[in-house]
Amino acid sequence: MIITIDGVAASGKSTVASGVARTLGIPYISSGLLYRAVTLCGLEAALEGGDLRVLEHLQAQPPRLDPRAEGNRVWRGERELTEALHATRVDEGVSAYAALPEVRAWVDEQLRALPAPFVAEGRDMGTNVFPQAQAKFYLTAHPRVRAQRRSAERPEELDAIEAALVERDARDAAQSAPAADALMIDTGELSAQQVIDRIVAEVESRRARA
């Protein structure tokens, strides 16, 4: 079974996907980490944001996603990139690379090569990468709520984080539209565990009906 969890930035996708995967005893995959890995490769090669020459660096030494229920890790050769992928400079540059069809095709290829079952989280998992998924969910929340969550991970002021999220939403609008058959969940008033429980209950209900 393939389960997709899409949504806007800082809506809780990674936390929820990991929790759902642990509950169901299957891996989860984070597409966003691969886009962040591409961005980091571009930054370290001193390329301007959205420079297609990043593909040459990817082919020379491609980042590798290690999907685990407790949290994905990303490696490039013997070097682990995971912690570096959450830096502010990566936040600011990832949309430019994610908007490139060639980069999206590269990421999609990596994801589709992974064996099911799994929980896939991102922005277009249910619409583009795994349209055949048996259960699709889309997480959203008010920008202020998402900024408050992200402020625990970032040194910037809350207002600056919120403004950056609103800008990111606008840039990602086309990519992150929910699938027509996705169940929408506003996570603003819910704890992560409540969202996880709701998704697991829906998945189990669908399994029972299959």
pLDDT tens-digit profile of 59-102? Answer: 999 999 998 777 789 999 999 999 999 998 998 899 899 889 99
Q: Is the pLDDT of residue 34 over 80?
A: yes
Write down the CATH superfamily of domain 2-209: P-loop containing nucleotide triphosphate hydrolases (3.40.50.300)
pLDDT tens digits, 139-196? 999 989 888 888 877 767 888 888 988 888 888 777 778 999 999 999 998 999 999 9
**83's tokens:** 């912690």
**Please, what is the average pLDDT of the chain?**
91
CB atoms within 10 A of CB 75: 15
Per-residue burial over 8-44, b = 16 or more CB atoms within 10 Å of its CB, e = otherwise = bbbbbbbbbbbbbbbbbebbbbbbbbbbbbbbbbbbe
**75's tokens:** 């490696």
Sign of the CA dihedral running 164, 136, 17, 140: positive
Segments making up each domain of the chain, as ranges: 2-209
